[in-house]
Amino acid sequence: GGIITQTPKFLIGQEGQKLTLKCQQNFNHDTMYWYRQDSGKGLRLIYYSITENDLQKGDLSEGYDASREKKSSFSLTVTSAQKNEMAVFLCASSAGTGGPETLYFGSGTRLTVL
């Protein structure tokens, strides 16, 4: 089996700050994803990547940048943190590059903006 490791587990930032979240997977999966989870709103896709150096925008990409420099890692940057923002960011991976697939999730990074 494999594992997805997200760092940090907790992230506290200031309004306007640029914040970076990191994700590593050892499944050797092609596709990686970043989701945002807000209470009462389910999961929303921010970015996904089907291979190294590929980036695809999801429905919630505004205000975020992403980077996939290696197959095993996928980072997400909050370009300007919003005051009182609280959310959980979940990284996931899947084996293929399309179609219905099982996603494997990390345990999340919990963001609080003061």
Partner 1 sequence: AQSVTQPDARVTVSEGASLQLRCKYSYSGTPYLFWYVQYPRQGLQLLLKYYSGDPVVQGVNGFEAEFSKSNSSFHLRKASVHWSDSAVYFCVLSSNNYAQGLTFGLGTRVSVFP
Residue 9: name the closest of 108, 88, 85 by CA: 108
Residue 93: name the closest of 6, 4, 1, 21 by CA: 4
Of 13-21, 42-50, 61-69, 70-78, the segment contacting partner 1 by CB under 8 A is 42-50
Interface with partner 1: number of residues (CB under 8 A): 21
Residue 10 in contact with partner 1, rule: CB under 8 A:
no
Residue 43 in contact with partner 1, rule: CB under 8 A:
yes
Contact 77, 66 (CB under 8 A): yes
Residue 51 in contact with partner 1, rule: CB under 8 A:
no
What element of type H or E holds 61?
A: none
Cβ neighbour number for residue 113 with a 10 Å cutoff: 20
Q: Which of 45, 65, 67, 77 is close enough to bind partner 1 by CB under 8 A?
A: 45
Site for partner 1 in 55-114 (CB under 8 A): 58-59, 90, 92, 97-103, 105-108
Residue 98: name the closest of 57, 48, 37 by CA: 48
Residues forming the site for partner 1 (CB under 8 A): 4, 40-43, 45, 58-59, 90, 92, 97-103, 105-108
